[in-house]
Copies of this chain bind each other. A is one copy, B any other.
Amino acid sequence: MKTGFIGLGAMGLSMARNLHKAGLLHGVWNRTAARAAELAAETGCRQAADPAALAAEVEALVICVSADADVLGVVDALAPGARPGLVVVDCSTVSAVTAREAAARLARRGVGFLDCPVSGGVEGARNGTLAIMCGGDPATFERARPVLAAMGRAITHMGPTGYGQATKATNQILCAGVIQAVAEAMAFAKAEGLALDKVIEALSTGAGSSWYFVNRAPFMARGSYPAGFRVRLHDKDLGICHDMAAAHGVSLPVVETTRAQYRELMAAGHGDEDISTLFRLKDALFGAGR
């Protein structure tokens, strides 16, 4: 399956390399052309002049960009070149509304679309162990399976278009609530004078535990927050959750509380730290009381 790739950021570059290893990567395009040129030189794939030229040459086209407007911009740019039967696989994290809009624009030209946001971070992208949550037509999903399998491990078809993004948004709400829990509990433990490494040891296997407690409470114990899952990226994703909830007329407390605190952290220059840096604010609560 001749596959193209658009969006060679930290995630996309590794994902494209894994497509190359699987013998699927035909060509690439990137807004900053130098990156595409480097990967073309490295892998021997073609560097396309523009998204439409790339779309004309491939059977599948993976997109991995940053924001909702970027996805729609790429879709509009590739559409003039796309042949009917092309499958566009969007691995960006955007709203379900954007996914449905992209699918509708491509459907008019007989082009299939799958929303396939990923989780697992830069490490998962590099190792090909991403979790991929997919929305779209089941037959289109089956056609794209070799492409997805080259980039990830746990690949789940969640339902029609938009359901991949809705699942990713669900995951980002989980992350927000759990980091609230871990940061608040660890700040309390510190204020009580407990040895934080002992607290982690005692509670890691219990009912209060979580991936974030096991893997990020140690960051809080050390007071060092290397990225990780950057505050500004999670904040962007929580903005998507906000918009999706707002479409139901709902404001989600965990989401809104966390966004407000992220704004505070970004203003203080912590936007590129791992989200466990939220501990700074919870710890400061006790600092004010001391």
Listed in ascending order, the chain A residues whose CB lies under 8 Å from chain B are 96, 119-121, 131, 133, 154, 156, 158-159, 162-163, 166-167, 169-178, 180-182, 184-186, 188-189, 191-195, 198-199, 201-203, 205-213, 215, 229, 241, 244-245, 248-250, 252-255, 257, 285-286, 288-290
Q: A131-B203, A248-B289 given. 16 additional CB < 8 A pairs?
A: A119-B208, A154-B202, A156-B201, A170-B185, A170-B192, A174-B213, A175-B207, A177-B178, A184-B252, A184-B255, A188-B241, A207-B211, A208-B211, A209-B210, A210-B210, A249-B289
User: Contact check: which of B154, B170, B288 meets A189 at CB < 8 Å?
Assistant: B170
| Cβ–Cβ contact A184 & B250, under 8 A | no
Pair B131/A171 contact, Cβ less than 8 Å: no
Measured between beta carbons, the chain B residues less than 8 angstroms from A198 are: 156, 158-159, 167
Contact B156 A193, beta carbon cutoff 8 Å: no
Report copies per complex. 2
CA distance A244 to B184 in the complex (A): 13
A contact face: mostly helix, strand, loop, or mixed: helix
For A167, list chain B residues within 8 Å (CB).
189, 194, 198-199, 202-203
A118 to chain B, nearest CB (A): 10
Closest to A212 in B: B207
Q: A158-B198, A177-B182, A194-B163 are in contact. Are A252 and B188 (CB under 8 A)?
A: yes
Across the interface, A172 reaches (CB within 8 A) one of B119, B208, B244, namely B208
Q: CB distance B131 to A206 under 8 Å?
A: yes
If A174-B182, A211-B206, A252-B184 touch, does A193 touch B163 (CB 8 Å cutoff)?
yes
Chain B residue at smallest Cβ distance from A132: B202
Residues of B within 8 A of A252 (CB): 184, 188, 285
Smallest CB separation, A7 vs chain B (Å): 22
